């Protein structure tokens, strides 16, 4: 059995990350999840998008259109929704047991639904749930700010 110190000396970045994950507060975990989601949107990383969104996730676009998790991820993968970058300005997180809300404000450079590429001041309001120790997005509503 290896001690923590032995693990750190062999691969410090991996073991330090694992140790810091255990110490992260719920708010820090949710903030990390939000950033990870945007990074996955830019990279069109469907595996990460599948992991961070609950199976019954629904996105309500600012137009009022609803997309299921599957429709949303498919639209990112096929280029209907193209995300190029995101600069996060504000995250307001409220945690109540295994439920949380996140209002995130980010400047998002994107081209969506065949429109031109623009930088949007995008606000997303999320409902999250913690299952098996992991936070996941349950629903999101988009608007501008």
Range 25-144: architecture per CATH: Roll (3.10)
DSSP collapsed to 3 states, 10-65: HCHHHHHHHHHHHHCCHHHHHHHHHHHHHHHHHHCCHHHHHHHEEEEEEEECCCCC
Q: Where are the domains of the chain?
A: 25-144
**Using one digit for the tens of pLDDT, what is the confidence trace for 92-145?**
999 999 999 999 999 999 999 999 999 999 999 999 999 999 999 999 999 999
Q: What is the pTM of this model?
A: 0.83
**Separation between Cα atoms, residue 32 and residue 26, nearest integer Å:** 10
């Amino acid at each position: 059995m290896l001690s923590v110190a032995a693990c750190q000396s062999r691969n410090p970045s991996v073991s330090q990350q694992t140790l810091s994950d255990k110490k992260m507060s719920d708010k820090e975990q949710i903030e990390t999840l939000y950033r990870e989601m945007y990074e996955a949107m830019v990279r069109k990383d469907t595996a990460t998008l599948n992991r961070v969104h609950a199976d019954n996730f629904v996105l309500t676009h600012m137009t009022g259109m609803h997309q299921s998790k599957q429709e949303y991820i498919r639209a990112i993968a096929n280029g209907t929704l193209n995300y190029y970058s995101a600069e996060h300005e504000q995250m307001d997180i409220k945690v109540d047991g295994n439920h949380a809300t996140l209002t995130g404000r980010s400047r998002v450079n994107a081209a969506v639904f065949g429109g031109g590429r623009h930088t949007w001041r995008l606000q997303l309001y999320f409902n999250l749930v913690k299952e098996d120790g992991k936070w996941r997005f349950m629903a999101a509503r988009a608007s501008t700010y």
